[in-house]
Amino acid sequence: MTEGASARPLSPHLQIWRWTATMAASITHRATGIALYGGFVLLAVWFVAAAIAPGPFDRISNLFGSPLGLVILFGFAWSLVFHTLNGLRHLYWDTGRGLAPKTAAMTSWLVFGASFVTAALVFAAALVTAGR
């Protein structure tokens, strides 16, 4: 090994990066994509239980109606809304617009806020109409 080789900088890692809204939105977009896989598996299990017999369907429905199930369902709803809105933001970027750092940060915060509000409205509407 030569003398100059040891003086070369190491590859950057997360400990030296300053967290930004765009970085958080990017990481969250990947995480919600993964969460959507799990949510759709649960949805498939629910459909299969409905196709099998009333007993399994009732057990799965009761699980989804429990406090933990409601948290999971809200997480699935929020993941779906966030992933969709952030995907639309990326499509906007593909036109060459909205790439300035201030605009990108603002739209990141907008996606986070809009996704929580939209998911909460959808979830509240679902809970209100569940008893009908």
Tens digit of pLDDT for each residue in 61-89?
999 999 999 999 999 999 999 999 999 99
The DSSP secondary-structure symbol of 12 reads: P
Question: Is the dihedral angle over the CA atoms 97, 101, 104, 110 positive or is it negative?
Answer: negative
Q: Who's near 114: CB < 8 A, 6+ residues apart?
A: 81, 85
* Residue 49 CB neighbour total at 10 angstroms: 18
Task: Read off the tokens for 65.
Answer: 């109606």
The DSSP secondary-structure symbol of 11 reads: P
- In the chain, beta strands by DSSP E: none
3-state helix, strand, coil in the chain (%, to 5): 80, 0, 20
Average pLDDT, the chain: 91
Residue with tokens 């699980």: 63
- On whether the 21-129 domain is CATH 3.40.50.720, my answer is no
Q: Who's near 24: CB < 8 A, 6+ residues apart?
A: 108, 112
pLDDT value of position 16: 73
Q: Letter for the amino acid at 89?
A: R
Residue stretches of the chain with pLDDT short of 50: none
